[in-house]
């Protein structure tokens, strides 16, 4: 009986519940869409959805052994929202209070309006960017392009409703910020960051005072873990107009930070990453309802360079020390009141033989990336041009370091053989009106072969060989060695000049003479090469004629290290076609130069056998000669090649000590690595 009674109740419940739920749903929808539709419509209209780009963290840069060179750190910036500022009752007064707050704290802020800070107002020196922004501003508001600074300030007072009670100085302060904000909105320039990289004390002060439209936002800035390799690593910054045209096609937002030079620019595609987008839902009153990522940012890859930080340090320190020493010696020898000719700058390039890896690139004088912004004006005005990368952009006459080219060309073309003896007469004077002397003249090197000629750097020997080979063959061998040719480096580089008949006839517009061939044979004439080209050339001699593309990239890994993005593979880009025994003869001649020549004071008893060649490059008769030096080591199984140039350094042999410091570092580090690897294998 009980079962028969319960079943109908259960059935009724099963039928009734869905009907009840459906009824509630219908009534709720009716309430939302009909009864309260006006209320919810108004609420939706008062809800604001903002989307903001979240910059991806830039990848780190490391040396070949994983030492951190450049990374990121969190930075806090003061940002002004123009719309929120101008809605305030007193936007100009608020700006004066903000400027006072920041300035009193000792923090600088950004103001690029090119008008003096005090009356009588005048235009200040402008960069190209400042000039363009001002011209565009005047054109947009139909102002006379010839308007003077005082007239423009009068316009600003009216345009920005700056009160008459403001002094001229206060009006200029307010106008500077208002101009910055308006220019960015009118011409879709990157966001205006009023002050960047502020500390926690200023953050607290700004937030406490609650300035209208002012907020503190985070960003990341590059952190440099070394004071070395400034020219090589490079800088980052906001895009200029030309960069934006290029990078916008790749999807970069207007306020993207990009590499401006050096490795930062060369490997931008790996370092940049992919920006994300964050959405913020808020009410009209400013209350945030929800925040969520529409797309999450993806950090850039970590780039490992071929350079060895310790080798880079050794190169920079040795170069600076030797130049200072040369200048101190000259000053000490100078008579009272005598003008001293100083060595002005220099460069070092270090390349791995058989791969083209760049171990170091040093340029002197240099600068500090950590303080670049603060030092920029002084760096720009320095007559020694510390921002100029002499290692890849400086083009120098090679002097006698070119003679191995002439030797290889003479041997391979049959002008001489390894045992051919040429008597050094000291002077070639058979050309009317012109004489070509050996540096030892009126002395003589006697009867010498190619190895001995390289050891003593006999000009007469190479005049004769170069004349027999001819300029066409000589320049083709030099080109195969990479002289006057692109090296393959990912940085900007100068190509230099290779002395040749076409160059003189087409570029200089003069006929080529046999005297030009004689001069080219000993590294003079029009020859101009970069230190990096000379290091690559030395490495090519060491490798027996295989010239590898010079490069900085070793590998790229994803930001979390989980995946390989890129791995550089060494590439041969030219070969010098000459018999191995001819390269052997040249290498032996360079060894003799280090053991018994002018560099023997450094390498005569050195623990590693070094092959080298010095060069003294004449600029003009009234100017001190440049000094050039190339070397590779070890002689038996070459691993590393070095080139050094010092402007007005007088003589190449004086640079041997710089190369020695680099070899010391390299072989010491190599020994440490071998010892560590050996210990890893021990049980």
Which residue shows structure tokens 């107009």? 241
Token readout for 221 is: 């800035």
Contact present, 603 and 611 (Cβ < 8 Å): no
What pLDDT, on a 0 to 100 scale, did the predictor assign at position 9?
A: 64
Token readout for 332 is: 């000490």
| Position with higher pLDDT, 460 vs 434 | 460
| CA diameter of the chain | 142
Mean pLDDT value across residues 584-605: 95
Token readout for 535 is: 């290091």
Residue 299: pLDDT band by 50, 70, 90 thresholds?
confident
DSSP secondary structure code for residue 448 in this structure: E
Q: Mapping DSSP to helix (H, G, I), strand (E, B) and coil, where does residue 9 land?
A: helix
With a cut of 70, say whether residue 447 has pLDDT above it: yes
> Is 75 within the bounds of a domain?
no
With a cut of 60, say whether residue 677 has pLDDT above it: no
DSSP secondary structure code for residue 402 in this structure: G
DSSP secondary structure code for residue 248 in this structure: G
What pLDDT, on a 0 to 100 scale, did the predictor assign at position 34?
A: 62
Token readout for 104 is: 């009193």
Token readout for 189 is: 């320039």
> Is 606 within the bounds of a domain?
yes
With a cut of 90, say whether residue 75 has pLDDT above it: no
CA 374 from centroid of its chain's CA atoms:
18
Which of 224-228, 274-278, 301-305, 646-650 has the weakest average pLDDT? 274-278
Which of 201-210, 330-339, 486-495, 651-660 has the weakest average pLDDT? 330-339
Is 292 buried (19+), middle (13-18) or exposed (0-12) by CB count in 10 A?
A: exposed
Residue 40: pLDDT band by 50, 70, 90 thresholds?
low
What pLDDT, on a 0 to 100 scale, did the predictor assign at position 400?
A: 95
With a cut of 90, say whether residue 187 has pLDDT above it: no
Contact present, 253 and 142 (Cβ < 8 Å): no
> Is 531 within the bounds of a domain?
yes
What pLDDT, on a 0 to 100 scale, did the predictor assign at position 674?
A: 59
192-207 pLDDT, tens digit per residue, is: 889 988 999 999 999 9
What pLDDT, on a 0 to 100 scale, did the predictor assign at position 38?
A: 59
Contact present, 252 and 258 (Cβ < 8 Å): yes
What pLDDT, on a 0 to 100 scale, did the predictor assign at position 295?
A: 82
123-163 pLDDT, tens digit per residue, is: 998 888 789 889 999 999 999 999 999 999 999 999 999 99
Length of the chain: 683
Residue 261: pLDDT band by 50, 70, 90 thresholds?
very high
Token readout for 16 is: 């009734």
Which residue shows structure tokens 């690593």? 233
Alpha helices in 108-240, H assignment, sequence order: 128-140, 149-159, 168-186, 200-209, 230-233
What pLDDT, on a 0 to 100 scale, did the predictor assign at position 12?
A: 65
With a cut of 70, say whether residue 582 has pLDDT above it: yes
> Is 266 within the bounds of a domain?
no
Which of 9-13, 264-268, 386-390, 391-395 has the weakest average pLDDT? 9-13
Q: Could you tell me which residues are beta bridge partners of residue 195?
A: 78
Q: Could you tell me which residues are beta bridge partners of residue 237?
A: 258
Mean pLDDT value across residues 303-327: 96
Residue 682: pLDDT band by 50, 70, 90 thresholds?
very low
Which of 246-255, 301-310, 382-391, 563-572 has the weakest average pLDDT? 246-255
Please state the φ and ψ torsions of residue 635, each to the nearest 5 degrees.
-60, -45
> Is 78 within the bounds of a domain?
no
Which of 282-291, 400-409, 419-428, 631-640 has the weakest average pLDDT? 282-291
With a cut of 70, say whether residue 470 has pLDDT above it: yes
What pLDDT, on a 0 to 100 scale, did the predictor assign at position 683?
A: 35
Contact present, 189 and 180 (Cβ < 8 Å): no
User: Closest Cα partner for 489 from 567, 548, 552, 569?
Assistant: 552
Mean pLDDT value across residues 388-408: 96
Q: Mapping DSSP to helix (H, G, I), strand (E, B) and coil, where does residue 140 land?
A: helix
Cα 400 from Cα 119, distance rounded (Å): 61
- Whole-angstrom CA distances from 390 to 492, 529, 647 are 11, 11, 10
Mean pLDDT value across residues 252-275: 91
Left (φ > 0), alpha (ψ -120 to 50) or beta: where does 485 sit? beta
Cα 71 from Cα 531, distance rounded (Å): 29
Pairing mode of beta strands 546-548, 553-557: unpaired
Which residue shows structure tokens 């002689």? 635
Mean pLDDT value across residues 550-557: 97
DSSP string, 417-430: -TT--EEE-SEEEE
Quote the domain boundaries for residue 546: 309-678
What pLDDT, on a 0 to 100 scale, did the predictor assign at position 126?
A: 87
With a cut of 60, say whether residue 368 has pLDDT above it: yes
Token readout for 222 is: 């590059």
> Is 660 within the bounds of a domain?
yes
What pLDDT, on a 0 to 100 scale, did the predictor assign at position 672?
A: 64
Domains of the chain: total: 2
Which of 488-497, 499-508, 663-672 has the weakest average pLDDT? 663-672
> Is 488 within the bounds of a domain?
yes
A 10 A CB-CB count for 629 gives: 30
- Whole-angstrom CA distances from 426 to 422, 423, 445, 456, 610 are 11, 9, 8, 13, 29
With a cut of 60, say whether residue 43 has pLDDT above it: no
DSSP secondary structure code for residue 608 in this structure: S
Mean pLDDT value across residues 626-649: 95
> Is 279 within the bounds of a domain?
no
Q: Give the domain CATH number at 557.
A: 3.40.710.10
A 10 A CB-CB count for 503 gives: 18
User: Closest Cα partner for 577 from 409, 422, 442?
Assistant: 409
Residue 621: pLDDT band by 50, 70, 90 thresholds?
low
Helices (H) and strands (E) in the chain, counts: 25, 23
Token readout for 67 is: 């030492």
**Share above pLDDT 90 across residues of the chain, in percent, rounded to a whole number:** 65
């Amino acid at each position: 009986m009980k079962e028969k009674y319960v079943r109908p109740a259960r059935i009724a419940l099963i039928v009734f519940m869905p009907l009840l739920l459906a009824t509630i749903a219908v009534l709720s929808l009716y309430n939302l869409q009909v009864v309260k539709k006006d209320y919810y419509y108004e609420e939706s209209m008062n809800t604001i959805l903002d989307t903001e780009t979240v910059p991806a963290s830039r990848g780190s840069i490391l040396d070949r052994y994983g030492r951190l060179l450049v990374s990121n750190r969190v930075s806090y910036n003061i940002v002004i929202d123009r719309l929120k500022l101008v809605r305030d009752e007193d936007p100009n007064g608020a700006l004066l209070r903000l400027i006072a707050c920041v300035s009193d704290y000792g923090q600088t802020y950004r103001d690029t309006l090119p008008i003096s800070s005090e009356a009588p107002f005048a235009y200040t020196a402008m960069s190209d960017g400042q000039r363009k922004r001002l011209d565009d501003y005047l054109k947009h508001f139909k102002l006379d392009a010839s308007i003077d600074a005082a007239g423009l300030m009068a316009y600003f007072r009216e345009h920005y409703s700056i009160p008459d009670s403001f002094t001229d100085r206060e009006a200029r302060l307010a106008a500077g910020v208002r101009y910055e904000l308006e220019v960015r909105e009118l011409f879709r320039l990157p966001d205006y960051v009023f002050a960047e990289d502020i500390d926690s004390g200023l953050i607290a002060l700004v937030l406490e005072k609650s300035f209208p439209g002012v907020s503190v936002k985070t960003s990341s800035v590059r952190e440099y873990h070394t004071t070395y390799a400034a020219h090589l690593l490079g800088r980052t910054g906001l895009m200029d107009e030309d960069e934006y045209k290029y990078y916008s096609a790749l999807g970069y937002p207007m306020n993207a930070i990009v590499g401006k030079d050096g490795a930062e620019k060369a490997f931008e595609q790996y370092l940049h990453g992919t920006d994300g987008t964050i959405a913020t839902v808020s009410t009209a009153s400013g209350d945030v309802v929800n925040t969520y990522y529409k797309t999450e940012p993806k950090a850039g890859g970590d780039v490992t360079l071929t350079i060895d930080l310790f080798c880079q340090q050794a190169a920079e320190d040795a170069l600076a020390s030797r130049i200072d020493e040369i200048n101190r010696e000259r000053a000490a020898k100078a008579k009272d009141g005598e003008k001293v000719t100083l060595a002005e700058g220099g460069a070092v390039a270090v390349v791995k033989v058989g791969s083209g890896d760049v171990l170091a690139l040093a340029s002197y004088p240099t600068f500090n990336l950590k303080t670049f912004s603060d030092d920029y004006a002084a760096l720009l005005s320095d007559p020694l041009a510390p921002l100029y990368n002499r290692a890849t952009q400086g083009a120098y006459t090679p002097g006698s370091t070119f003679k191995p080219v002439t030797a290889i060309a003479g041997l391979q073309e049959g002008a001489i053989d390894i045992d051919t003896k040429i008597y050094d007469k000291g002077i070639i004077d058979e050309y009317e009106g012109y004489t070509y002397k050996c540096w030892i003249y009126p002395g003589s090197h006697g009867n010498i072969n190619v190895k001995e000629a390289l050891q003593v750097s006999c000009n007469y020997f190479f005049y004769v060989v170069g004349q027999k080979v001819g300029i066409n063959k000589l320049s083709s061998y030099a080109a195969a060695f990479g002289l006057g040719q692109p090296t393959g480096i990912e940085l900007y580089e100068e190509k230099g000049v290779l002395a040749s008949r076409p160059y003189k006839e087409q570029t200089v517009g003069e006929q080529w003479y046999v005297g030009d061939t004689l001069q080219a044979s000993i590294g003079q004439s029009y020859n101009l090469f970069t230190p990096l080209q000379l290091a690559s050339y030395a490495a090519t001699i060491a490798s027996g004629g295989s010239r590898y593309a010079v490069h900085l990239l070793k590998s790229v890994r994803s930001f979390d290290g989980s995946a390989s993005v890129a791995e550089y593979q060494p590439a041969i880009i030219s070969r010098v076609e000459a018999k191995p025994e001819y390269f052997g003869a040249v290498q032996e001649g360079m060894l003799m130069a280090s053991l018994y020549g002018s560099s023997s004071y450094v390498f005569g008893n050195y623990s590693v056998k070094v092959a080298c060649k010095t060069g003294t490059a004449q600029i003009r008769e009234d100017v001190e000669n440049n000094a050039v030096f190339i070397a590779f080591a070890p002689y038996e199984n070459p691993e590393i090649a070095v080139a050094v140039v010092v402007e007005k350094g007088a003589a190449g042999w004086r640079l041997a000590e710089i190369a020695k410091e680099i070899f010391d570092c390299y072989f010491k580090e190599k020994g440490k690595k071998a010892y560590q690897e050996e210990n890893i294998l021990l049980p």
